Amino acid sequence: MCNKVYTLDEIRSIAAPIAKDYGVDALYLFGSYARGDATPESDMDFRIDKGSVCSVFKLGGLYNEMEHSFDKKMDIMTTQMLSDDFLRSIRGEEVLIYERG
């Protein structure tokens, strides 16, 4: 796995085209990368408004392409997978990476 710490601009330029290709409505970054305190060992945490990502196979494809593109461990969760309490806890730090226009 890569020890690079990506900037928000780099994350957007890599992740947005992938999200678009998979039909994601919106892609948000949260966790250490969103807070600006990522280290080379940090994973990447994303939340998606799934749009047309309606099967576990399509979500798996999105995950594989993102992980391969960044060469980082990551978590990709749909909004529907998360509890209301967890959503409230991350909403203040989330950074919008992509939104379908």
Average confidence (pLDDT) over 81-95:
94
Q: Identify the weakest region by mean pLDDT among 5-9, 53-57, 89-93.
A: 53-57
Task: Check whether 68 has a pLDDT greater than 90.
Answer: yes
Residue 57, pLDDT > 90, answer no
Q: What CA–CA distances, in Å, run from 97 to 15, 57, 85?
A: 7, 22, 22
Range 41-70 average pLDDT = 90
Q: What is the enclosing helix (H) or strand (E) of 77?
A: strand 74-78
Rounded mean pLDDT, 26-30: 97
- Sequence length of the chain is 101
